[in-house]
Amino acid sequence: MKNIRNFCIIAHIDHGKSTLADRLLDATGAVTDREKQAQLLDSMDLERERGITIKSHAIQMDYEYKGEKYTLNLIDTPGHVDFSYEVSRSIAACEGALLIVDAAQSIQAQTISNLYLALENDLEIIPVLNKVDLPSANVEEVTDDIVDLLGCKPEEVIPASAKTGLGIEEILSAIIERIPAPKGNPDESLQALIFDSVYNPFRGVETYFRVLNGEIRKGQHIKFMATGKSYFADEVGTLRLKQFPRDVIKTGDVGYLITGIKEAKEVKVGDTITDSKNPTVNMIEGFEDVKPMVFAGIYPVDTEDYEELRNSMEKLQLNDASLVFVPESSAALGFGFRCGFLGMLHLEIIQERLEREFDMTVITTVPNVSYYAYTNKNPETPILVNNPSDLPEPSTLNRVEEPYIKATIITKSDFVGSVMSLCIEKRGEITNQTYLTTERVELTFDMPLAEIVFDFYDRLKTVSKGYASFDYSPIGMRQSHLVKVDVLLNGNVVDALSALLHRDNAYDIGKKICEKLRQLIPRQQFDIPIQAAIGAKIIARETVKALRKDVTAKCYGGDISRKRKLLEKQKKGKKRMRQVGNVEIPQEAFMAVLKLND
């Protein structure tokens, strides 16, 4: 056990985490020249194209240092805030972390939030200054920032370049010297932490775990404590690039387990594996069910594809257990699903994977968050509202609570004013402002989650010329004055465009939605009124004018009553047409509501 080191890499997006992992694999000879490729641990096409890690990965390396052989387990983590629970479980499976900071960009918001997660779990932090070979690198300045943040000595910061391979040997020796060996009792009953799972179409769900106490053997009867289900360990082994089956995985080591589970829901990240005959008494702390934060309706463009969409969603759920969906129907869009996502990036990824992997073109409705509504009848029991149409009638409503988040934004001091005004426009309240250096400021806000779901991140990047980084964590529910705004087309409510908004913003947003729809809905043979309403009160209106034939063209000169007669006749025809006509809403209209400020 003393020769095992478990570590993870934490960094902000694009600070060179996956590239550094590649260099470590090269240096320890874990990959052959044939298998080498950039971002080796990112297996999805999407991950490679966007340069982000969506799924965390684990890999084992062997390294000889001062004549002794060591086993290094690297647990790669996603960097994006949507996947912060996965990151927290990966961190809990380690004893140390490499903190990577880009020498050109310095410390960003996610670096800090993941660093706090690591410090809460008492991890040994090894600071690495990456990309020192760039012409724009400020090595001394950023080293001082890291020293201020961590309270370490400047010589403890390892300068490196993952591209050229500079500093890799120093990083490996630091991993062995500074990160403590795993502690644990090999004689106790089995206690192992699940930090990830992957779906294999031939063998079911593969569970990745780290053994804290005891050992796990092939053929052992095991039990997952959160779900209470027991399984038979068909195969256990270690994770190299390919899987290597072993008879036993001992205390402190990382491995995979195959039990033939077919449902990804049965394997929960953060759960504890134990022996079913001789179970451990204590579960590993920190387990929670992943809760979706953002909800949106996903509908097939052609209603006949509904069953196909259901199959695609079920297959996706095998790979991604945090996707939740229930069937729902809409008068405007037919049958579809109300889906729960971890955040907006998760929503984008699912939508893109549906198109790529399953050839499904889908319509996504306006994303919203889940609220708690309380009625006058029983003001103590909350009703969960995931869809604006679930909101009780205004006359019976007592109050509505919405989820709030603590947002941390790090930006250059020049942009503090514009970032503040954006956050205050989004109903944020500033709680803290700290100057990290003379140039860089950390701002903390309490904000409603609903306000950042739409276009907040894009606008934040715009007002700060790309220099702001953003991170958030939920802080619970707060009472809020919310109203349901409906959109009516030709007098009919289009349920897919309804939204729950704060009363102060309802008029402005209603007006903007109407204006946007007027540009997008094609003209018909009759006038189409577009209205935004709260209950029975219309708050905004636009009209798409009718296409009209010039019926008076043949009347030149003569009495006005001849023209009037023809115009009146045309008007009656248009009125009759409007009563029976229905309006087709183009796909862009649903997406346009998301981009009201463009």
Nearest-angstrom CA–CA distance, 413 and 432: 14
Q: Is residue 15 annotated as involved in ligand binding?
A: yes
Q: Is residue 366 annotated as involved in ligand binding?
A: no
Give the amino acid at 461. Answer: K
Helix (H, G, I), strand (E, B) or coil at 40: coil
The answer to whether 103 and 113 are in contact (CB under 8 A) is: no
Give Dmax (Cα) for the chain.
110
Bridge partner list, 98: 9, 126
Nearest-angstrom CA–CA distance, 127 and 373: 46
Taking alpha carbons only, the member of 566, 574, 506, 569 closest to residue 544 is 574
Q: Is residue 77 annotated as involved in ligand binding?
A: no
Measured in whole angstroms, the distance separating CA 51 from the mean position of its chain's CA atoms is 15
Q: Is residue 14 annotated as involved in ligand binding?
A: yes
Q: Which residues contact 395 (CB under 8 A, 6 or more apart)?
A: none
The answer to whether 177 and 220 are in contact (CB under 8 A) is: no
Q: Which one-letter DSSP state was computed for residue 593?
A: G
Q: Is residue 165 annotated as involved in ligand binding?
A: no
Nearest-angstrom CA–CA distance, 484 and 534: 6
Q: Which residues contact 294 (CB under 8 A, 6 or more apart)?
A: 340, 341, 342, 343, 344, 346, 347, 367, 368, 369, 453
Both ends of the chain: CA-CA distance in Å? 58
The answer to whether 541 and 530 are in contact (CB under 8 A) is: yes
Nearest-angstrom CA–CA distance, 463 and 485: 28
CA separation, residue 313 to residues 199, 309, 319, 432, 511 (Å): 14, 6, 10, 42, 35
Nearest-angstrom CA–CA distance, 368 and 143: 41
Q: Is residue 16 annotated as involved in ligand binding?
A: yes
Q: Is residue 17 annotated as involved in ligand binding?
A: yes
Q: Is residue 278 annotated as involved in ligand binding?
A: no
DSSP string computed for 398-448: EEEEEEEEEEEEEEEGGGHHHHHHHHHHTT-EEEEEEESSSSEEEEEEEEE
Q: Is residue 148 annotated as involved in ligand binding?
A: no
Q: Is residue 464 annotated as involved in ligand binding?
A: no
Binding site, by residue number, is 14-19, 130-133
Binding site for GTP, by residue number, is 14-19, 130-133
